[in-house]
């Protein structure tokens, strides 16, 4: 039997689509893509899935109808390996690039990380309360929903008895052992520049190893402190995550 080899970016895309299923909302599947609506104007209201499949372009009209029922602009999360027909269709259907993140990945060995100190698990209530203090008040509803997603390890670091920084990790099993998705990392403004995210990165990688993951991945803003941190930790860029939104008629 021939074993189909998947690239790191394909593994990451599949893991992300599976992890998204933890969010509450209305889900509908259209061919290789699925779309979710979780509430008005939430950033998780997107379609995602196997964007490298040729028939992904064929379901855009159905996705647009789905979001029209919720008075929401259609949005699509695409990775840079997407099928050319999908990019062509997005341009033809008046989608614009809303934002772009660099996708980094690294393989995970059984070797231990450097010792990690002062990292604690945060409760969902603590997560919902603290994270908007770093991400901004506009993130409050999104982070409240994120706090309830199952199978996510939410870690934080305290300074002087206060939560100073945080980061989450979830492991999505696959045929090659599992992909650890690292996300929602932030540091409160008054505690930045102290290496807190490096500590949280090491802690989450160690947890991923313990859960049997063989690949870790993270999306970061280009030329950011986070990008420098993951490069130093041994991550390599494997592609990009592109969020497209359809322009609404005037």
Q: For the segment 50-60, what is each residue's pLDDT rounded down to a tens digit?
A: 999 999 999 99
20/34 Cα distance (integer angstroms): 10
Q: For the segment 158-204, what is each residue's pLDDT rounded down to a tens digit?
A: 998 999 999 999 999 999 999 999 999 999 999 998 889 999 999 99
The predicted structure's pLDDT at residue 113: 57
Domains of the chain, earliest start first:
8-101+241-246 (no CATH), 109-213 (3.40.630.30)
Smallest Cα–Cα separation from 205: which of 118, 135, 105?
Answer: 105
Pairing relation of β-strands 95-107 and 215-220?
antiparallel
CA angle 149, 219, 127 (to 5 degrees): 35
Pairing relation of β-strands 179-187 and 215-220?
parallel
The predicted structure's pLDDT at residue 248: 78
Instruction: Assign 34 a pLDDT band (cuts: 50, 70, 90).
Output: very high
Instruction: Assign 118 a pLDDT band (cuts: 50, 70, 90).
Output: confident
The predicted structure's pLDDT at residue 2: 44
Does an H or E element contain 60, and which?
helix 60-68
Examine the pLDDT at 232 and tell me if it is beyond 50.
Answer: yes
Mean pLDDT, residues 136-155: 95
Give percent above pLDDT 90 in the chain.
87
Instruction: Assign 249 a pLDDT band (cuts: 50, 70, 90).
Output: low
The predicted structure's pLDDT at residue 51: 98
Cβ 157 vs Cβ 134: under 8 Å: no
Instruction: Assign 3 a pLDDT band (cuts: 50, 70, 90).
Output: very low
**CA within 13 Å, CB half, 143:** 26
Examine the pLDDT at 240 and tell me if it is beyond 80.
Answer: yes
Mean pLDDT, residues 25-46: 95
Task: To the nearest 10°, report the CA torsion of 234, 11, 153, 167.
Answer: 50
> What pTM, to 2 d.p., does this model score?
0.93
């Amino acid at each position: 039997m021939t074993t189909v080899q998947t690239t790191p970016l394909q593994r990451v895309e599949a893991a992300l689509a599976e992890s998204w299923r933890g969010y509450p909302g209305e889900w509908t599947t259209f061919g290789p893509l699925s779309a979710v609506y979780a509430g008005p104007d939430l950033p998780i209201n997107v379609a995602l899935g196997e964007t490298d499949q040729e028939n992904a372009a064929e379901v855009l009209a159905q996705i647009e109808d789905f979001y029209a029922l919720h008075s929401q602009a259609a949005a699509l999360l695409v990775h840079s390996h997407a099928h050319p027909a999908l990019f062509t269709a997005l341009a033809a259907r008046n989608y614009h690039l809303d934002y772009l993140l660099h996708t980094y990945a690294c393989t995970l060995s059984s070797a231990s990380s450097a010792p990690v100190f002062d990292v604690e698990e945060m409760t969902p209530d603590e997560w919902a309360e603290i994270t908007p203090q770093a991400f901004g008040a506009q993130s409050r509803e999104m982070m409240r929903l994120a706090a309830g997603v199952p199978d996510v390890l939410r870690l934080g670091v305290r300074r002087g008895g206060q939560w100073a920084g945080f980061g989450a990790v979830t492991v999505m099993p696959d045929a090659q052992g599992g992909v650890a998705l690292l996300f929602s990392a932030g540091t409160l403004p008054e505690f930045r520049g102290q290496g807190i995210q490096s500590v949280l990165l090491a802690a989450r990688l160690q947890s991923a190893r313990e859960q049997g993951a063989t690949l870790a991945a993270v999306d970061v803003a280009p030329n950011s402190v986070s990008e420098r941190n993951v490069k130093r930790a041994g991550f390599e860029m494997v592609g990009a995550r592109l969020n497209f939104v359809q322009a609404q008629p005037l």
